[in-house]
Amino acid sequence: MSVPTSARANVTYLLMSDINFTVVIERASITLDGLYHTVQGEGSGTGITVLEVENVTITRVTVKEFYCCIDVRYSSNNLIERCTVKGGQYGISLKGSSNTELSGNNINGSKVCGAYLYASSNNILSDHNVANHSAWGIYLYNLHFNVLRANTILSSDVGVELCDSNNNVISRNEVRDNWGGLDFYHFTEDNIITLNNITDNQRGIWFYYTYLSRNRFYHNNFIKNFDHRAGDGARLTSDFWDNGYPSGGNYWENYGGRDLYHGLDQNVMGCDGIGDSYHEIDFDIVDNYPLMGVFHVFSTSYGHEVTIMSNSSISSFRFDLMGEYYAEMAFCVSGDGGTAGFCRICIPRFLINGSYDVKLDGETITFPQVRELACSNETYGYLFITYSQSEHTENQRDHNNTRILFTCHNNIASDDSTGGNHKEAERPWRRARS
């Protein structure tokens, strides 16, 4: 089946039944809606090809067992969404293309690579389930200014690999149960790796004959990896492993430091959720501000985000405007029974434009159990709350666990400021070794 250059634009083609031959799109402004039918291959060729066109949408189609299931080449401003891709050598391939969005696809069981992006820029790959690939889940080669966001990448030899790729953002991904979580190869510079959960991998991050420069790693959670960070022939000395103070660095499950002090130099009495000593990643490579708890980010309906860093499990977050003059933020915490719990909340002033109070299981708490940290400013408020943790079974969660209620006694501010992301810090101060 071919949609040739002579076809009319702005037309939707519907797949009315399963087919076992290739679809080629060579005309701009075409929509292919598979209606959840299947394009079935036998291990060779390409399932769907998009070639040198723009404004093409491919949606709701299953493509199985081709050498490359969906192949987009030298095209721009396209959308591939809600597709299922199974088997073959390559799941989705994007080459020499720009301003294309891959969203909400399921890619499973490729023999080489689930999603292969090459020599492309300004694309977004988001909300995918990428699993069970023999080599790479996602391979980014010679990519610039792309976003890899909110994907679940698991059970592959390598979850994500970057090679010769610069100025990309890898954010909010779940990378777990791979041999290698995130791999970096060759010249890879000026990328931002943030807000990822990197868990249960043999290697959390692996640097292989890599010359890294000016990459920034912060607000990632490294949990239950056999080795959180490993490398072979890598040069890493000009990377940043935190976002300065008070924003902080990463959560490392194996960090053994204490939190008794706060401040830029961590020398003022009083904890703040950031370790008092740096976390050594490699020789002369340190996270200056390691986090004492797992980092969470929650969206609100007002265009602003709330971040919570805690040694407790967090559930049932909500932020609601309750009336003309006040708003409520609530969430539940649970952990090992009888142990000390804490959470550090960073909330935009836009959401707390006035006075507030905090309740723990319905009882108002005050200083020193809750305190606003000195690092708070006119843009963000940083609150630090301590409590005794309660442990509950899964059936009890959100019913009997500890509930924190934050009430703001005012209406939501009406300005158009934004506060969803921390401003990136300059080169973070590095503590001297003792």
Question: If pLDDT is split at 50, 70 and 90, which confidence band does 338 have?
Answer: confident
pLDDT in tens, 107-125: 999 999 999 999 999 999 9
pLDDT band at 373 (very low <50, low <70, confident <90, very high): very high
Mean pLDDT of 12-25: 96
Say what the pLDDT of residue 433 is: 31
Query: Does residue 247 have a pLDDT over 60?
Result: yes
**pLDDT tier, 390 (very low <50, low <70, confident <90, very high otherwise):** confident
What's the whole-number mean pLDDT along residues 289-295?
A: 98
Contact between 102 and 72 (Cβ < 8 Å): no
Instruction: Give the pLDDT score at 428.
Output: 28
Question: Greater confidence, 350 or 129?
Answer: 129
Instruction: Set out the domains of the chain in order of their start, with CATH numbers.
Output: 2-252 (2.160.20.10), 253-292 (no CATH), 296-408 (no CATH)
* pLDDT-based confidence at residue 353 (cuts at 50, 70, 90): confident
Q: Which of 29, 41, 37 is nearest to 60 (CA)?
A: 37
Over range 178-199, report the average pLDDT.
Answer: 93
Q: How many CA atoms lie within 13 A of 62 on its CB side?
A: 13
Pairing of strands 356-360, 113-118: unpaired
The pLDDT mean for the chain works out to 88
- Residue 412's pLDDT band, with cuts at 50, 70 and 90, is low
Q: What is the pTM (predicted TM-score) of this model?
A: 0.89
| pLDDT reading at 164 higher than 90 | yes
Most confidently modeled of 57-66, 232-241, 326-335, 355-364? 57-66
Q: What is the pLDDT of residue 396?
A: 36
Residue 217 has pLDDT above 60, yes or no: yes
- Percentage of the chain surpassing pLDDT 90? 74
Per-residue pLDDT, 401: 73
Residue that is written with structure tokens 């539940």 in the block: 332
Q: Is the pLDDT of residue 423 over 90?
A: no
